[in-house]
């Protein structure tokens, strides 16, 4: 039987944290999410022991599977797994599980009820409680201000690694998302918002992983280039929102 929820954990060289995080997620999620779920480890061409660990977990733990991709990129991994999944709702979270897992049910419930099309965790919404360094806080806030101003959207936190989407909406959206790396999140949300999809925000309790391997400055620069590309497409080139609205007309949103 197909699961209600497919939780994807994209990973690259995460041999240190992967097993602990997957076992914790599998143990704790049933206490807060009363529906069938699957955990999918999406290995983005890791070069350490991540693949072996993921395969072992998939063989040992019911409801856990492992998929190996030969090309690095979080957006590419999510696109592949979400496109092929048979679950009603598709989600992803970062391997460090920085977001309190009690937020999973509030994240997914509006999608199951039909109230919303996408759902995102927000570290910047009223009610969120966040523990992280000043540098990451400033960069995150500045980036989201730029996104809202440059692309005319209202959601508060584009890059929180805690999102969910209805599978039918994902199938309509994903062909129009070009980025396969870190800007994937922002592009997905911008296209959704500008096409009139309903985005639900969940204030989250979030604790920064001080050992994260993500280069936040490099990632921010990549994201700024993505913003510039989207602005150009909206103004001068092929507008993906126009095509997307045509696809959305074929599903119930």
CA 47/CA 45 separation, integer angstroms: 6
CA 63/CA 30 separation, integer angstroms: 12
Query: Are 44 and 147 within 8 A, CB to CB?
Result: no
Extract the tokens encoding 85.
Answer: 């999944």
The region, left, alpha or beta by phi > 0 then psi within -120 to 50, assigned to residue 220 is alpha
Q: How far is residue 187 CA from its own chain's centroid?
A: 11
CA 201/CA 211 separation, integer angstroms: 27
Q: Which of 17, 96, 185, 223 is catalytic?
A: 185
34 vs 3, 29, 37, 98, CA distance in Å? 12, 9, 9, 21
Name residue, tokens 């969940």: 202
Is 27 marked active-site?
no
Extract the tokens encoding 152.
Answer: 């005319």
Which residues make beta-bridge pairs with 122? 203
**φ, ψ for residue 165 (rounded to 5)?**
-150, 145
Extract the tokens encoding 69.
Answer: 């991709």
> Which residues does the annotation mark as catalytic?
185
């Amino acid at each position: 039987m197909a699961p209600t929820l497919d939780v994807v954990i994209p990973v690259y060289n995460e041999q240190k944290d992967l097993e602990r995080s997957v076992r914790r997620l599998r143990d704790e999620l049933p206490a807060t999410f009363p529906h069938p779920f699957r955990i999918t480890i999406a290995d983005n061409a890791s070069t350490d022991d991540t693949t072996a660990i993921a395969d072992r977990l998939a063989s040992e733990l019911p409801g856990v599977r492992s998929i190996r991709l030969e090309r690095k990129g979080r957006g590419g991994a999510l696109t592949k797994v979400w496109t092929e999944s048979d679950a009603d709702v598709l989600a992803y979270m970062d391997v460090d599980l920085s977001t309190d897992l009690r937020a999973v049910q509030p994240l997914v419930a509006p999608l199951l009820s039909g109230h919303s099309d996408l759902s995102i965790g927000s570290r910047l919404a009223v009610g969120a409680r966040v523990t992280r360094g000043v540098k990451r806080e400033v960069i995150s806030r500045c980036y989201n201000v730029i996104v809202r101003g440059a692309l005319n959207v209202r959601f508060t936190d584009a890059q929180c690694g805690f999102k969910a989407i209805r599978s039918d909406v994902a199938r309509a959206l994903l062909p129009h998302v070009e980025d396969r790396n870190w800007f994937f999140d922002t592009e997905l949300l911008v296209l959704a918002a500008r096409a009139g999809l309903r985005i639900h925000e969940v204030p989250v309790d979030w604790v920064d992983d001080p050992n994260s391997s993500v280069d936040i400055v490099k990632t921010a620069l990549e994201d700024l280039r993505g913003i510039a590309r989207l602005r150009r497409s909206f103004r001068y080139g092929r507008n993906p929102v126009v095509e997307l609205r045509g696809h959305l007309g074929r599903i119930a949103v």
